[in-house]
């Protein structure tokens, strides 16, 4: 496998670097983490800037390798993260592009790319969590609509979302992995109630969502009725396979900052700390190579990441926690000061072994689909 850039990729990388150097100094200040209306406006504004410059469709319209270059260069330059556009750009959009009808692609994809609409993810439930096959939110057909009742939890960006990628059970008599349907639900529909949840890090990017006989047009169903588990696996493949790519670049940057901070405050004299930083540097380098391998495999298989994404997600979520635990050691007593860099990141890193499927779920996938071991249940 050749991981070096082709001449065309080198030209794309250079052009992108030049554009970022020109446009980033002109951006307004980022809003505070708790200002979700402000964060929505900021994130959509950045997406429109990318769109107007011709970079918005790199998530779906370009090759996986070109997208990898885009994520690497934007993170390296300190460009805004996708933020409120996370679900739309990295989950719902790619799923609709792969599984939606031509009318659905025409309706939703341009608005996501232009930064017109925000999506949230309605997968997890209070009694299901990462075991999505245990979901209980019901939907039944009534004429041209589905009528949905139930509740979701840990719904990312629900407070400012226009649409929700929603999993519902449409056949309660079917086996647990069947009878599920993937719907696009408008968040302003009658019967939708959003209750924000405050996390350990103090932000409210998650919410509980209560659904009381919400009517969703059947035309908003992506894939066939009761075939939602297969469509969901496509969504999760993108989530675990490529959605965290930019964050690996960010972690490598943070690791360099940690080393400099340790040299400045004398902690670098600790050989144990130096070994931890060195091991993490090797770990993130290996994760980056694994990302390139996963992208190469996705490119060869039509653009949808495979089970290798679970290998990446499993190791990345733990490496991220180890990174910010090391940051606490570098900071010493200042590691309890919420206003210091990396402290809130350490708190939020705890969620990464749950987000996008728990580590236990990832181990099951790796055991069954990568190692070929028999199912344990």
Active site residues: 239
Helix axes 64-76, 271-300, angle to 10 degrees: 150
Are 226 and 298 in contact by the 8 Å Cβ rule? The answer is no
CA dihedral sign of residues 352, 357, 363, 367:
negative
Q: How far is CA 113 from the centre of its chain?
A: 16
Tokens coding 286: 């290996």
Helix axes 245-265, 308-331, angle to 10 degrees: 20
Q: Which residues 6+ apart lie within 8 Å of 185 measured at CB?
A: 122, 148, 163, 164, 166, 192, 214, 216, 220
Alpha-carbon distance 166 to 152, whole Å? 9
Report the DSSP beta bridge partners of residue 138: 149, 169
- Considering only CA atoms, give the Rg of the chain: 21
Q: How far is CA 366 from CA 128, 293, 374, in A?
A: 21, 16, 11
Are 234 and 91 in contact by the 8 Å Cβ rule? The answer is no
Alpha-carbon distance 96 to 117, whole Å? 15
CB atoms within 10 A of CB 78: 10
Look at residues 310, 290, 306 and name the one whose alpha carbon lies nearest to residue 359. 310
Q: Indicate the helix (H) or strand (E) that contains 228.
A: helix 228-241
Look at residues 355, 32, 36 and name the one whose alpha carbon lies nearest to residue 204. 36
Report the DSSP beta bridge partners of residue 151: 210
Tokens coding 355: 């987000």
> What single DSSP character describes residue 371?
S
């Amino acid at each position: 496998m050749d991981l070096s850039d082709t001449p065309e990729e080198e030209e794309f990388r250079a052009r992108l670097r030049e554009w970022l150097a020109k446009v980033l100094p002109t951006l307004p200040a980022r809003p505070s983490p708790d200002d979700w209306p402000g964060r929505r406006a900021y994130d959509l504004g950045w997406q429109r800037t990318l769109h107007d410059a011709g970079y918005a469709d790199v998530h779906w319209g370009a090759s996986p390798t070109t997208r990898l270059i885009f994520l690497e260069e934007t993170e390296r330059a300190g460009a805004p993260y996708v933020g409120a556009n996370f679900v739309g750009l990295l989950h719902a959009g790619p799923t609709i592009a792969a599984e939606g009808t031509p009318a659905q692609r025409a309706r939703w994809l341009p608005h996501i790319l232009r930064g017109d609409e925000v999506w949230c993810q309605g997968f997890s439930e209070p009694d299901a969590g990462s075991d999505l096959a245990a979901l209980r939110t019901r939907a039944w057909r009534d004429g041209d609509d589905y009528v949905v009742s139930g509740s979701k939890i840990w719904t990312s960006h629900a407070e400012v979302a226009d649409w929700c990628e929603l999993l519902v059970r449409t056949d309660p008599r079917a086996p647990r992995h069947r009878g599920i349907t993937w719907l696009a639900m408008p968040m302003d529909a009658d019967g939708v109630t959003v209750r924000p949840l405050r996390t350990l890090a103090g932000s409210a990017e998650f919410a509980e969502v209560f659904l009381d006989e919400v009517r969703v047009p059947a035309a908003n169903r992506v894939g066939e009725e009761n075939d939602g588990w297969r469509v969901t696996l496509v969504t999760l493949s993108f989530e675990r396979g490529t959605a965290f790519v930019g964050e690996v670049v960010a972690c490598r940057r943070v690791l360099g900052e940690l080393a400099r901070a340790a040299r400045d405050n004398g902690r670098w004299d600790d050989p144990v700390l130096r070994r931890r930083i060195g091991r993490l540097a090797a770990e993130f380098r290996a994760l980056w190579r694994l990302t390139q391998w996963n992208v190469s495999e996705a490119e060869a298989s039509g653009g949808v990441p495979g089970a290798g994404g679970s290998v990446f997600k499993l190791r990345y979520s733990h490496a991220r926690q180890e990174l910010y635990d090391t940051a606490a050691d570098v900071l010493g007593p200042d590691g309890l000061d919420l206003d210091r860099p990396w402290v809130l990141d350490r708190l939020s890193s705890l969620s990464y072994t749950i987000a996008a499927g728990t580590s236990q779920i990832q181990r099951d996938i790796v055991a069954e689909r990568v190692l070929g071991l028999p199912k344990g249940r």
